Amino acid sequence: MIFVALRLVLILGFLMHRVTLTSHSKFVDDVKGYRSACKSIGWEPKQGCTDSVIAFHASLKNHLRNVPVKTIIKFEKVHLNKGNGYDPSTGVFTAPEEGVYSFAWSFLSSTGGTVYIAAVVDTQVLANTCINEQKSTHINSSGHLISELKKMNKVWIRTWWQAATYMHADNFSHFSGYKISLS
């Protein structure tokens, strides 16, 4: 183990020396080469620069009223879509890579509002939240799901149990997700 650590220190020292002597593109090529060398001796970072970022956050563009049961909610106002996994035209996130993902959603409704929401992974309901005939002027309901996904698995938010009477837009109702780690 000490031998591996010493090799890594030497590699990193050489890399730092090269930073001042090379162009940006040459530096990037060198880093890729050093990563490959580290991998060949059995050393890989636990997390970090080798993983690509997959994350999205989207909210409702317009208020929704009387949304029928089993309707996928389309969050059309996309704030972030790293990895291009979220499709605002369908409301569905498709995992670009396998891994463990975290999803969150939140809805705001108004007096008398009823909203039953299901988080679905490839047709299987894995989490539910609801607001039922709420009494205050506005009330929020939120949910969270962590799921291990294979590449191309799909995740969406839909209504369930009964029609959703009212969901407020303007960034009050949103859906987001991100890759936590490799499987």
Which tens digits make up the pLDDT trace of 81-107?
Answer: 999 999 999 999 999 999 999 999 999
- Residue 172 CB: number of other CB atoms within 10 A? 16
**Any domain includes 28:** yes
87 burial level (CB within 10 Å; 0-12, 13-18, 19+): middle
Here the CATH number for the domain that contains residue 88 is 2.60.120.40
Contact assessment for residue 94 and residue 87, using Cβ atoms and an 8 Å cutoff: yes
Residues 18 and 74 in one domain: no
How far is 113 from 131, CA to CA, in rounded Å? 7
**Any domain includes 47:** no
Closest by alpha carbon to 76, among 90, 63, 65, 61?
A: 61
Q: Is the pLDDT of residue 33 over 60?
A: yes
Residues 66 and 153 in one domain: yes
Residues 72 and 8 in one domain: no
Q: Domains in the chain: how many in total?
A: 2
Which tens digits make up the pLDDT trace of 49-84?
Answer: 555 799 999 999 999 999 999 999 999 999 999 999
Residues 18 and 67 in one domain: no
Q: Using 50, 70 and 90 to split pLDDT, how confident is the model at 19?
A: very low
Q: Is the pLDDT of residue 5 over 70?
A: no
Show the tokens assigned to 129: 């939240």
Residues 77 and 19 in one domain: no
**Any domain includes 46:** no
Closest by alpha carbon to 68, among 176, 173, 167?
A: 167
For residue 108, what are the domain limits?
A: 55-181
**Any domain includes 168:** yes
Residue 114 backbone class (left: φ over 0; alpha: ψ -120 to 50; beta: rest):
beta
Q: What is the pLDDT of residue 12?
A: 52
What angle separates helix 2-19 from helix 24-40, to the nearest 10 degrees?
170
Q: What is the pLDDT of residue 18?
A: 47
Residues 31 and 64 in one domain: no
Residues 128 and 102 in one domain: yes
